[in-house]
Amino acid sequence: MAPSPAAVAAAMPPAADPEREEEAEQQQTKWGAALEGLVVGSYCHDVLLRGGRVVGETLGGAAAFVSNVLDAASPPEASFAVVSKVGPDFAYASAPAPARHPSLLCPAPTTSFHARFSDAVASPAAHAPDRQLRRVHACDPIYPDDLPERRFAYGLAVGVAGEVLPETLERMIRLCRAVLVDAQALIRAFDADGGGGGAAVRHMALEGTPYARLLQRVAFLKASSEEAPYVGVETARRRCCVIVTEGRDGCRLYWEGGEARVAPFPAVQVDPTGAGDSYLAGFAVGLLWGLSATDAALLGNFFGAAAVSQVGVPTFHPKMLQAVKQILEDKERRGLCASCKLIRQLTTTVLIFARHRCRLHRQVHADLKFTGK
Ligand SMILES: Nc1ncnc2c1ncn2[C@@H]1O[C@H](COP(=O)(O)OP(=O)(O)OP(=O)(O)O)[C@@H](O)[C@H]1O
Ligand SMILES: O[C@H]1[C@H](O)[C@@H](O)[C@H](O)[C@@H](O)[C@H]1O
């Protein structure tokens, strides 16, 4: 029987609790000197197109979005390493990008995607595909030997172009105490060039892939509502806790014997790219702060909403981050665990910073002439 989300969340070591120092020390000896995470997946170049016209070119790749949120909101004692491949053409090596710079340089070109947004629909249904993706270049896969030879407190498998091989995921599972996986790393298939440039991205059933047998050793599997049918939530929830993100409707957690819906935060969507990546990182950060899985999902929703409000890897207002960290620290200190209190506090933060976001939207629209959804 699959463990409950509470049990799985407990597998993820929270930041130091002074009352459990001895236990923390034992865990540290077993799982490495620090509360260190391992993020595996390639950075990429994203080209956003609307009506056949390029409306934005940005840094992309789930690992870039993830490292941005981990850097911004992890507890002070938590750190992480990124294993990510890019080619010599990587366009953001010297840019003061908010995300970490990728670690491995390859002779192959940097992975790149073209995302075609439709002009026809102003605001698509919550679960409809929001864009058509084509993979234009693919960098090298990430091999098990590319991973550092040490133990990690947690791992995030966040591939975008099939670069996290089954054997690499297996190695992550061996190295990390708890592994969180984005389904997009496992179920993407790339159709040969049928004209139009690059390979069309489609999904295949997870059950038919070599990743399926690893699921029972994964803590959390996150899928978008578009990916969920390919994951097979009913089968997967018997092996690990499954999170399905539902765009502006928030998310749902499924485990064997239960499920929970977690409400979204308000957002004005400018660019949906990276919402799921930022969500997963926010969720992991929540677990590191010692939140329950459903409260951590709330933090996931918070960072997902922040991601759609900007084009590319988002920058967060330092005061907003300070406010969020204060909420998380208070919760730790006072042992508060009521979701409704967390919702109230985070919603207030969202509303306070909505004005800042509006200013940022105007600036982004002006800079990139991105017409939004
Ligand atoms: N319009 C929105 N308003 C508020 N929150 C949103 C919105 N869109 C996304 N989110 C938040 O981000 C999370 C992830 O979004 P979504 O389900 O669209 O992921 P995704 O399709 O995997 O995204 P991507 O592939 O672009 O990274 C949602 O669960 C929600 O919390
Ligand atoms: O930068 C984006 C982002 O990481 C998305 O989550 C992924 O679906 C895309 O393929 C990628 O180009």
Give domain limits for the chain: 5-368
What is the model's pLDDT at position 20?
47
Can you give the pLDDT at residue 161?
Answer: 98
pLDDT recorded at residue 329: 84
Cβ neighbours of 21 (radius 10 Å): 10
CA 123, 127, 133, 139: dihedral to nearest 10 degrees? 130
The finding on whether 307 has its CB within 6 A of some atom of ligand 2 is no
Ligand 1 pocket, Cβ-based, cut-off 6 angstroms: 224, 245-248, 250-251, 264-265, 267, 269, 272-277, 279, 301, 304-305, 308
Between the CA of 217 and the centroid of ligand 1 the distance, in Å, is 26
Top mutation candidate among 113, 164, 202, 230 for ligand 2, by most atoms within 8 Å of CB? 113
Per-residue pLDDT tens over the stretch 170-205: 999 999 999 999 999 999 999 986 666 899 999 999
* CA end-to-end distance (rounded Å), the chain: 43
Retrieve residue 74's tokens: 């992890």
Q: Is the Cβ–Cβ distance between 109 and 139 less than 8 Å?
A: yes
What per-residue confidence (pLDDT) applies to 118? 80
CB-ligand 2 contact for 74 (6 Å cutoff): no
Ranges of residues in the chain with a pLDDT under 70 are: 1-34, 96-98, 119-129, 193-196, 331-344, 350-373
Say what the alpha-carbon torsion angle 289, 3, 82, 48 is, to the nearest 10 degrees.
Answer: -90
pLDDT at 228: 98
Residue 17 bears catalytic tag:
no
* Spatial distance between the Cα atoms of 127 and 303, rounded to a whole number of angstroms: 19
In angstroms, what is the span from residue 110 Cα to ligand 1's centroid?
A: 25
Identify the bridge partners of residue 220 per DSSP, sorted by sequence position. Answer: 180, 241
CATH 3.40.1190.20 for domain 5-368, yes or no, is yes
Distance of CA 72 to the CA centre of its chain: 13
The ipTM value here is 0.98
Nearest to 170 by CA among 209, 128, 197: 209
**Which single residue is written with the structure tokens 């239960």?**
258
Ligand nearest the Cα of residue 65 is 2
Q: Which of 146, 182, 277, 295 is catalytic?
A: 277
**pLDDT at 51 (0 to 100):** 87
328 contacts: CB under 8 Å, gap ≥ 6: 73, 75, 286, 289, 291, 299
